[in-house]
Chains A and B, each alone.
Chain A
Amino acid sequence: MSDTTRMTATAIAAAVRGGELSAREVASSALNLIAQHEGELHCFNVVTSEVALAQADAVDEKIARGEDPGPLAGVPIALKDNLCTRGVATTCSSKILEGWLPPYDATVVTRLIEAGAVSVGKSNLDEFAMGSSTENSAFGASKNPWDTSRVPGGSSGGSAAAVAAGFVPIALGSDTGGSIRQPAAFCGTVGMKPTYGLVSRYGLIAFASSLDQIGPFSTTVTDAALLLEAICGHDDRDSTSLRDTPTSFVGPLAEGIAGLRVGVITDFLSDADPLIVTAVRDAAGALASAGATVDEVAIPELMSGLAAYYLIAPAEASSNLSRYDGVRYGLRVDGPDVAKMNAETRAAGFGPEVKRRIMLGTYVLSAGYYDAYYAQAQRVRTMVANAFNRAYERFDVLLGPTTPSVAFQFGAKIDDPLAMYLSDLYTIPSNLAGHPAISVPFTLGEAGMPVGVQVFAPALGEQAMFRVAKAVEDAQQAGCRGPVELSAGASR
């Protein structure tokens, strides 16, 4: 049996569609690699071998019947464990949801199955997507395949690590303040947050509803565009889902970037690690060489984003997480009356970071603080979006770092919430504005860990964003992206 674990999604789909590979072979190959190395990396809360093989067989049967198996035919994929999968445990890496079997599939899951993808498992995350390292998972952290003493980033760390390890060529994550892009940067993969409303949130277990978006992980920009094509588009079940949005992202990649105007956000270069600053400048140079016009732009308003985010996201989360009360599903710790049962259940079921954010969100929404905090944060949000949009009068896309540093060691920030929060400084503004952004591996930085460069675009500017991301990728340093050699990576 051939090893298909280093193939891109594009290549696998072409081979399966063309009859050169069976979907079952591809799935088996992925499951074998996972079986060998999952113990070291803990990318998954559950590996769904039977589901994967059944889905693969369905693809092979479609091909045998002469039907179109879909654009992702036979491509193994990891699903972040905050996406509902019918009859498959969906936990958000929380004890409060342990064992819960959703009675329905998220819209993106339905679309992936229609597209022929093969789901191999539910990937680990920081509990309820709150965190930047997966250290907040109730079921143990995932490891960075580049260096297992380091975090993979978060919250979608399991998905990033699974792609970096070569377990799967693509994965889905969710990004509320950088939860796709930050782990992508830490793990040397591509990770992209779409425009708010481009991908349906139906079936994504909410963290902060006005900021959450589902998006792709992959090893290449082309694969990210391919995966986005499969999951994007209007959904009647999500009231915030946009209509009449672009549907084609792979095709336009061929257009190149000649004439595109790129602005480098200088505010993001002052505090970042020097090697990361160099990477951004080198990437800008590469884009200029490829025909873009490049200039610098200061957008100081973006630096207020972090504070606004840490008001809005916990506020919405405190409300979204109220439903975990021990009444209808999930954990219950009994008590003499319903209020005590609720309080005991939530005390036992939520981890420290989730409690911290529920407390913060409850506080800022409570009487007397709403205007000073929440309403003011919503005004900051307007300010951030306006500032971005002013920059987009001069530029088609913006460029900056994804993270201030490379992947950090386990335990480095877990006891200092504010330091952990600061690792989202460059990713949060896009969530506040609802704009798309992508992290692309560009070089190796401190301790030989991968460095991601971030490309920002205005609302529904995904096509230009992908084109520029592809140009960044074309100039990337060899060996800065996954999949890594696992035996070498794991022993480091």
Chain B
Amino acid sequence: MSEIVPGWELTVGLEVHCELQTKTKLFCSCANTFGSVANTNICPVCLGLPGSLPVLNEQAVEYAMRIGLALNCHVEPSIFHRKNYFYPDMPKDYQVSQYDEPINRDGSIELPSGTTVGIERAHLEEDTGKTSHMGGGGRIHDADYSLVDYNRAGVPLVEIVSRPEITSPEDARAYLNELRSILVATGASDGRMEEGSLRVDANVSVRRVGTTELGTRCEVKNMNSLRSLGRAIEYEAARQVELLEAGGRVVQETRHWNESTGSTSSLRSKEEAFDYRYFPEPDLVTIAPSSSWIEQVRGALPPMPGDRRRELTAAMAKSNPDLDASSYQDQIVTVVDLALDGLVVGAIAHGADGRLALARGANEAAARPDEARALSVEAFVELLGLETSGKISATQSKAVLTEMLDGHGAPSEIIKKLGYEGVDADALGVIVDAVIAANPNEWLRFVEGDERVAQFLLGQVMRETKGQANGKLVAEAFGVRKSR
């Protein structure tokens, strides 16, 4: 447990709202798309027009089950409740959500570090519309008036609530990153925080080291990236510690993270009273997935990031048994996060050098993950083989990989096009012999041990090969001839 300020411990629980990638909304057949013209994906149901009724989207239920099962939850019979409060972005002035009978309960996430964070629940609910604040610089309190677009109203969400078991900003970030990878792996989410399809709120509290009771928590909202999540938690924890050390008291409230000032501020409006008056939604019926449905969904789940990291680690250990696993853990996390592990594991299975495959995966491929995922394992193996055998240099290999990501063909074709071929071992031998023959004095000094002329001889070979020879191989060729 990290002490964010000496003598104080941090406790964080995260609530993550994940928009599901269904074709339609949760309770109506309007398109679930991002970025449409305002109020064009609306109907009587998602506008909450009088007389309209909700009908549940089966695909949303299946996605929720996938998420729950991927998070090791129990899928249980569940119902919807109405959460009643007035807000203009909510067409019915109640949100249809799951309350004390959620579809998924009691799961966990294992972070790459090995730390496990419990999942309390992952439930279905509907999203709200979007308000734009006009005048006053677009800020809510200074605005002259607001405009509402209901395209997002009724989009299906799964809210994943962690247990308050996260104890550092780093773990909070690692949790969110891992959760995002899992959500993307299930196919339920695109994981895009910047488009708001993944949104995170943090319940933050602090307590003195040695105490067992949790401190009063504040809910921090409006973090739009992994980085701002970490910063917001750090700020909020420090604020609470300062308050408590000054003899003050933390008030349970919702606070808004402001990215530009790097601080949180209270959202409380004096005249508002919130009492959600939950009751079972009478317009919807129980969701009770059969065990065969649950098992079918479980069976169709692809391997999750944790499993894939283990698989990649095992492949590395087999390919490069002398390497210390801790030296490449970060690369494994990166490769799995970007779903490039299929490429890397495939390459290793086809005989590629593990360290090289992982390095190219975690660097050059990771820079352009969408294109890299489209590469064939065969092409990647071919490239890595050319580099290992010395047919091309490391610099050339990276250049060829870039061309491959641009879709310019197989490694062999790219090498031909770039003129990297013709410096294979036989051709190189001929050139090296020619350089020795042309520079007998320098060769003699080299053989006698003058290392300074080595650079000159290498330069001659490079000039002959237009810089495309593998330096290491040239040195080896000279070495072989020297010891003859």
| A interface list, Cβ under 8 A from B | 82-84, 90, 92, 97, 100, 102-104, 106, 201-206, 208-210, 236-240, 315-316, 318-319, 322-323, 325, 327-329, 338-339, 342, 362, 365-367, 370, 374
Contact = CB atoms under 8 A, between A and B. Distances in A.
Given A319-B84, A319-B277, A339 B271 contact: yes
B92 interface: yes
A156 to B, nearest CB: 16
B150 to A, nearest CB: 8
B58 to A, nearest CB: 12
A374 B279 contact: yes
Given A210-B282, A323-B91, A365 B277 contact: yes
A362 B84 CA distance: 10
B456 interface: no
Interface stretch (B45-53, B217-225, B383-391, B433-441): B45-53
Contacts of B272: 339
B290 interface: no
B88 interface: yes
Nearest to B150: A328
Interface string B336-366: 0000000000000000000000000000000
A315 B304 CA distance: 44
Interface string B51-65: 111111000000000
A135 B93 CA distance: 28
A103 B44 contact: yes
Given A338-B146, A339-B271, A325 B86 contact: yes
A103 B49 contact: yes
Contacts of B47: 328
B50 A84 contact: yes
Nearest to A90: B50
B374 to A, nearest CB: 40
B54 A239 contact: yes
A4 B50 CA distance: 35
A370 B82 CA distance: 13
Interface in B34-80: 44, 47-56
Contacts of B279: 315-316, 319, 365, 370, 374
Contact of B55 (A100, A203, A237): A237
Interface string B274-286: 0101110011110
B51 A202 contact: yes
A374 B282 CA distance: 13
Contacts of B92: 322-323
27 contacts: A90-B50, A104-B44, A104-B49, A202-B51, A202-B52, A204-B51, A205-B50, A205-B51, A206-B283, A210-B282, A236-B55, A238-B53, A239-B283, A240-B282, A240-B285, A319-B82, A319-B94, A322-B86, A323-B93, A325-B88, A327-B148, A328-B91, A329-B49, A339-B272, A365-B278, A366-B275, A366-B277
A24 B459 CA distance: 104
B232 to A, nearest CB: 28
Contacts of A325: 86, 88, 93
Interface string B248-292: 000000000000000000000001100101110011110000000
Contacts, number: 102
Contact of A102 (B51, B93, B283, B285): B51
Given A238-B55, A322-B93, A338-B88, 6 more contacts: A97-B50, A237-B53, A239-B56, A319-B279, A323-B93, A325-B93
A201 B45 CA distance: 13
A84 B51 contact: yes
A90 B52 CA distance: 14
Interface in B284-342: 284-285
A104 to B, nearest CB: 5
A82 B279 CA distance: 24
Contacts of B53: 201-202, 237-239
B51 A239 contact: no
- Interface core residue of A90, A316, A319, A362 (most chain B CB under 10 Å): A319
Contacts of A316: 279, 282
In order of increasing CB-CB distance, the 6 nearest A-B pairs are: A322-B93, A365-B277, A210-B282, A209-B282, A205-B50, A203-B51
Contacts of A204: 51
- Interface core residue of B53, B82, B91, B271 (most chain A CB under 10 Å): B53
A362 B277 CA distance: 7
Contacts of A239: 53-56, 283-285
Contacts of A240: 282-283, 285
A328 B272 CA distance: 22
A378 to B, nearest CB: 8
A174 to B, nearest CB: 11
Contact of A92 (B44, B50, B94, B148): B50
Contacts of B275: 366-367
Interface in B443-462: none
Contacts of A237: 53, 55
A354 to B, nearest CB: 14
Nearest to A322: B93
A471 B52 CA distance: 38
B83 to A, nearest CB: 10
Contacts of A366: 275, 277
Nearest to A104: B44
